Amino acid sequence: MKTVLALAFSILTITGSYAQSPNADDQLLFAPDQPAPPEQPCITLSNKKILCGKADDSGSQLLSVFKGVQYGQAARWQPSSVFDEYEPNGYEALQYGARCPQPIWNPKDQLRGEEDCLYMNIWAPAGAIKNLSKLPVMVFFHGGGFMAGGADKAYHAADGEIIELYTGKSFSADQNIVLVTVNFRLGILGTLATDGITGQEPSNGGNYGFQDQQTALKWVQKHITSFGGDPDQVTIFGVSSGAMAVGLHMFSADSSKDLFRAGIMQSSAASYKYRNKEEGRDLFYFYLKCLRAAIRNPESDECALTAQLDDLEKATTRQILLAQALLQDHLFKKGVFLSALPGSIAFSPIIDGSFLKEQPNVQMEKGNEKPLMLGFNKDEGVLFANFIDATGNLNAVTFNGILGRDYENPMLIVGREGYGAQTPAAHGLQPKTPATALANLIGNSVFACPTMSANIEREKPTNNTWLYFFAQTSVENMEKPPTNPKVNNVCGPQNQWGNACHASELPFVFNNMPPNSTEEDKALAVKMNALWAQFAKTPEAGPSKDWKLWTWPKIGNPSNFNVLQGADSDANFEDLFEQSDCAFWLGEIIEKNANAILIPKQLPQE
């Protein structure tokens, strides 16, 4: 019913599986000569409330794990506040809390997630809790295009095994890190700019999901000492839209400054330009029309001509999500929703001038005060191209349609000319097959070139930024395959494995590889997990010197930068810059046009 392409591009990391916790009623029987299981860990928070978790003795040291800890509370489309008033007899944090509502595309789609979803998960060494050791803390924000995902994501190994991904077992047991993962509001429920419209005055510009992250960080500041963590040693990190959120905390939100000391951005769209307050308000009014239509008729394919403000509160979660799908589909059909390019994610944070003061890429050019590590993967665009080509019908005509032939944005014009499938070469670029052209366009323009250029021509050069390039071929399928018989792995077309796709570094970062992984993959995962942890421990000094992560290389004077690959690699910054067509994307064309907002202030009329 809804456009497949809208789904493909808006969700940077498709929903993972829920992890199932053991049934509390199940009783395990132990033989007399077997050791008894470790005692359930319970801690007392700073407000004297008791929190109980689960012991994990399967790693290199005993861990205490707390899943589904409620950290915040919020009414619909209102800012969240810290929640820590747990029941007097204790709060059992034994299983993941509900995800925030996930996208649905048809009235019959299963509703996944709940609006009551502000939960976090914590892994900590049991000894650190006992000794109040003040270990470094890492807080992870998941990806999903600000629209989908959760802190309980799983992934698919090559043999089909489903493996929990965002687990802190290795970070805590092997690296002595307190690891926190967080749920936060998503989609229209996390980004609707209601300020000054509904009679209520949120102080966050409608950035509810982003502000939830702040609430989680405030909870960490208040209580992480009880878990053996140090509130003064918090590093935030994330992937995809989670990495973009890290950039917003670092460069746009003054109110986040005292909540962390360093950041890691994995595969961020570093040049992305967010909507301003006026553009967010325009989107709000149009969404109201879509919500009116969804309430009247769940089967509706078009937004209504009129709107009712009170629909915001009386609508069900399902109606809200159906209206979200209507809006997204409408924007795509009108040629103004093109999330292959910067500036067009449907439901992203809003630069309101107060809560989020300015575009993060603008502030990044001025220099970052806090230590930052960021990087990208070799084949970022392949996953997106494969989802778009889920039907196997991508050709030159549909390729140009994806780039909005009817929407004459200058960047889209040069994109079609430079990357146009089966067309004469333009701007010094060579034509490629449609799928390859699309994968290259997305990977180069959205991820590789903006990341490599993030620190070029800074007003105040700094030496506390490190770059990595992840090139290890993947044996993991981060997403379920699309319904295309030619593609059983979205990280490699035509049944081919062997790309380093968007998000494929995650099992290496969390050191949570499939049991049948190669020794090379396992060794790289151990090193990358240690590398991320070392940065959290000594962010001013950077990651381990053994890995030779240097200050950001400048164009014209490139130095070595870190290539994360199991085998020796001859990749270097200068060649990578050229192979990614960065002279094209970072030239005059992109400076003038790449940050153009593709959703105009006046949305198309009915």
Does the pLDDT value for residue 37 go beyond 90?
Answer: no
Of 349, 364, 167, nearest in space to 245 by CA: 349
Q: How many CB atoms lie within 10 A of CB 213?
A: 28
Of 39, 29, 217, 52, nearest in space to 118 by CA: 217
Using CA atoms, how far apart are residues 200 and 361, in angstroms rounded to an integer?
31
The larger pLDDT score, comparing residue 389 to residue 113, is at: 113
Does the pLDDT value for residue 13 go beyond 50?
Answer: no
Q: Within a domain: residue 5?
A: no
| CATH number (domain holding residue 576) | 3.40.50.1820
Cβ contact 165:16 at 8 Å: yes
Q: Within a domain: residue 40?
A: no
pLDDT digits (tens, 9 = 90+) for 530-572: 989 999 999 887 666 554 443 333 333 334 355 666 655 556 6
Query: What is the layout of strands, in order, in the sheet containing 154-157?
Result: 162-164, 154-157, 476-477
The larger pLDDT score, comparing residue 356 to residue 476, is at: 356
Using CA atoms, how far apart are residues 83 and 79, in angstroms rounded to an integer?
13
Using CA atoms, how far apart are residues 56 and 49, in angstroms rounded to an integer?
22
The larger pLDDT score, comparing residue 409 to residue 372, is at: 372
Most confidently modeled range among 147-161, 205-219, 509-523: 205-219
Two structure tokens written together for 316: 């069900």
Q: Into how many domains does the chain fold?
A: 1
Distances (CA, A) of 535 to 235, 237, 254, 264, 386: 9, 11, 23, 9, 34
Using CA atoms, how far apart are residues 366 and 595, in angstroms rounded to an integer?
17
Q: Within a domain: residue 115?
A: no
Using CA atoms, how far apart are residues 353 and 131, in angstroms rounded to an integer?
44
Distances (CA, A) of 392 to 387, 456, 483: 10, 39, 9
Cβ contact 339:387 at 8 Å: no
Q: Per residue in 488-510, is it b (16+ CB within 10 Å) or e — as a string?
A: ebbbbbeeeeebbbbbbbbbbbb
Q: Within a domain: residue 13?
A: no
pLDDT digits (tens, 9 = 90+) for 68-92: 999 999 999 999 999 999 998 889 9
Does the pLDDT value for residue 159 go beyond 80?
Answer: no
The larger pLDDT score, comparing residue 166 to residue 378, is at: 166
pLDDT tier at 178, thresholds 50, 70, 90: very high
Cβ contact 211:118 at 8 Å: no
Three-state DSSP at 330 gives: helix
Q: Which of 170, 240, 241, 504 is catalytic?
A: 240
Distances (CA, A) of 511 to 154, 173, 232, 474, 556: 14, 11, 25, 14, 36
Distances (CA, A) of 112 to 78, 115, 149, 186, 367: 21, 10, 11, 12, 41
Cβ contact 344:338 at 8 Å: yes
Could you write out the DSSP letters of every residue in 89-143? T-EE-BSPPPPPPPP--STTSPP---S---EEEEEEEHHHHHHT--EEEEEEE--
Average pLDDT of span 182-210: 82
Phi, psi values for residue 464, rounded to 5°: -115, 30
Whole-model pTM: value is 0.86
For the chain, helix, strand, coil in percent to 5 are: 35, 15, 50
Residues 6+ positions from 316 with CB-CB distance below 8 Å = none
Name the DSSP letter for residue 162. Answer: E
Using CA atoms, how far apart are residues 148 and 112, in angstroms rounded to an integer?
10
Domain of residue 384 covers 371-593
Cβ contact 584:428 at 8 Å: yes
Ordered alpha helix ranges (H), 510-594? 519-537, 573-579, 582-585, 588-593
Q: Report pLDDT for 86.
A: 95
Q: Within a domain: residue 63?
A: no
Of 225, 209, 24, 255, nearest in space to 122 by CA: 225
- Which residue, chain included where needed, has tokens 């769940």? 298
Name the DSSP letter for residue 36. Answer: P
Q: Within a domain: residue 383?
A: yes
Two structure tokens written together for 86: 């747990």
Does the pLDDT value for residue 106 go beyond 90?
Answer: no
pLDDT digits (tens, 9 = 90+) for 239-274: 999 999 999 999 999 999 999 999 999 999 988 889
Q: Report pLDDT for 68.
A: 98
Active-site annotation holds for 170: no
- Which residue, chain included where needed, has tokens 């001038």? 353
- Burial of 50 from C-beta contacts in 10 A (0-12 / 13-18 / 19+): middle
- Identify residue 594 by its one-letter amino acid code: A
- Which residue, chain included where needed, has tokens 């053996």? 228
Most confidently modeled range among 31-40, 149-158, 177-186: 177-186
Q: Report pLDDT for 514.
A: 86
Using CA atoms, how far apart are residues 49 and 131, in angstroms rounded to an integer?
19
